Amino acid sequence: MSDTTGRAADDGNEGHGPEVLYEVDGHIATVTLNRPHRRNAISVRMLRLLGDHLTEADLDPEVRVVLLTGAGKGFCSGLDMKDAVAGRGIGAGGSGGTVLQTRHLPTVILNEMDTPVIGVLNGAAAGYGFDLALGCDMRLIAASAVLLPAFAKRAIVPESGGTWYLPRLVGWAKAAELCFLARPVDADEAVRIGLANLAVPDAELLTVARSWADEIAANAPLAIRAMKRLFRHGLTEDFPSHTHHVLLQTLQLFGTADFREGIESFVEGRPPDYTGR
């Protein structure tokens, strides 16, 4: 099932269609940044569309995994500086920079989503695109792709989650190294330091991403959503409080049809068929 038409006007995307594409196939939603002529640089309109589609996926009980990627050769080159210089984009000092409240920002929505999100980094992830990638639960990166935490070279900070994610993902010292030196990070290095799960030959990236998504979608969706919530809350809870919350969540899962299916399928020696109930 595709839902890439009729949701957003072209409105200046130079014949490329809506600036964010949304498609659901089975239990997997694919969200695609769609300004390939700008290496998917983020416009004000894209922020709204991206936030809307991420929310839609998270609220859809049939969607069990989200793939987030970019059209063309880049994942996301950051906020659109050409628009900003022209006085019409994010950071231009006009109304464009204040259209959205914080809770509507895609990076905030990503952090609050219970549905797993795999970042499929098909090309360079720079600036805002770097932060957007960090907000995904897992990242698959094309062998030719690079991460570009070049904020210090542009006289700004990682404004959309990077300062929160990086020390947690790679440690304080490595986070400082990445941001203060502002050097490119290639795919192999991204995997080595924990910023990506796997580097994949470019031609195989979407196939591998879909394979991972299919495998996740075959598991119990209520349990996976609960795990993601507990991971998120565990970052700010002490251990006894967190253990208490885990117990409450476990007791709730015991009452689901999926839990019964998991037990019965194991005993019967067959693959489980989870319904999310």
Summarised one tens digit per residue, pLDDT across range 174-183 is 999 999 999 9
- Indicate the pTM of the whole model: 0.87
Pairing of strands 125-126, 146-148: parallel
Q: Residue 246 pLDDT more than 80?
A: yes
The full 3-state SS of the chain, as one line of letters, equals: CECCCCCCCCCCCCCCCCCEEEEEECCEEEEEECCHHHCCCECHHHHHHHHHHHHHHHHCCCCCEEEEEECCCCCECCECHHHHHCCCCCCCCCHHHHCCCHHHCHHHHHHHCCCCEEEEECCCEECHHHHHHHCCCEEEEECCCEEECCHHHHCCCCCCCHHHHHHHHHCHHHHHHHHHHCCCEEHHHHHHCCCCCEEECHHHHHHHHHHHHHHHHCCCHHHHHHHHHHHHHHCCCCHHHHHHHHHHHHHHHHCCHHHHHHHHHHHHCCCCCCCCC
Domains and CATH numbers, the chain: 20-217 (3.90.226.10), 221-268 (1.10.12)
Q: Residue 1 pLDDT more than 60?
A: no
Rounded mean pLDDT, 245-266: 96
Confidence of residue 33 (pLDDT cuts 50, 70, 90): very high
Residue 104: what pLDDT? Answer: 79
| 106-119 residue pLDDT tens | 999 999 999 999 99
Q: Residue 10 pLDDT more than 70?
A: no
C-alpha span between 91 and 276 (Å, rounded): 42
Confidence of residue 5 (pLDDT cuts 50, 70, 90): very low
Long-range contacts of 148-151 (CB under 8 A, 24+ apart): 148/124, 148/184, 148/185, 149/178, 149/179, 149/182, 149/185, 150/126, 150/182, 150/184, 151/127, 151/179, 151/182
- Residue 26, token pair as written in the block: 């089975």
Q: Residue 141 pLDDT more than 90?
A: yes
